[in-house]
Amino acid sequence: MLLGIAVLIAVGMATYIVLPLLSAETAGGSLPVDVTVLGDLKRRRLVVYDNLQDLEFEFQSGKIAPGDYEALRANYLGEATVLMAATQEAEQLKENDAVIEREITARRTQRDVQIKAEYSCPACGYENPLPVKFCGECGARVPAPRKKG
């Protein structure tokens, strides 16, 4: 029992360490955090399908009693269903993350534009990238921005 848990943890850790490396190679670029989760789910689904095929084969060759075969098969199919649902959920989360990312980018851009407008120099028109009292380009006084209500 304890050994089984230890093995599971070891496999899980290996998955999280090795899979990102593999996917980074195939994706050839920046690695989103959730790739590991989806990759892990996919790998576990493939394992379940492998087990199902093995089971089918062993049943066909008469190594497994029909009752055991049915029970194991139901077990694997249940596992596959759970993994499918988890995958869909993870993909949904990924989509939500993408929406949030776009929202953040839009707001960040908006904020940057706002700062530029608020701290642009009235004398030379230079857009000071930071809140300043004096223009970084010509040294003229930059009026404090009006406080937003």
Smallest separation, CB 126 to Zn ion (Å) = 5
Smallest separation, CB 112 to Zn ion (Å) = 19
Smallest separation, CB 122 to Zn ion (Å) = 8
Query: Between 69 and 126, whose beta carbon lies closer to Zn ion?
Result: 126
Candidates 39, 72, 32, 26; CA nearest to 53 is 72
**Residues 41/86, Cβ–Cβ less than 8 Å:** yes
Residues that bind Zn ion (CB under 5 A): 121, 123-124, 126, 135, 137-138, 140
Smallest separation, CB 145 to Zn ion (Å) = 16
3-state secondary structure of 34: coil
Contacts 24+ apart (CB under 8 A), 79-83: 79/48, 80/45, 80/48, 80/49, 80/52, 83/41, 83/44, 83/45, 83/48
Query: Between 113 and 123, whose beta carbon lies closer to Zn ion?
Result: 123
Query: Between 47 and 115, whose beta carbon lies closer to Zn ion?
Result: 115
Query: Between 27 and 138, whose beta carbon lies closer to Zn ion?
Result: 138
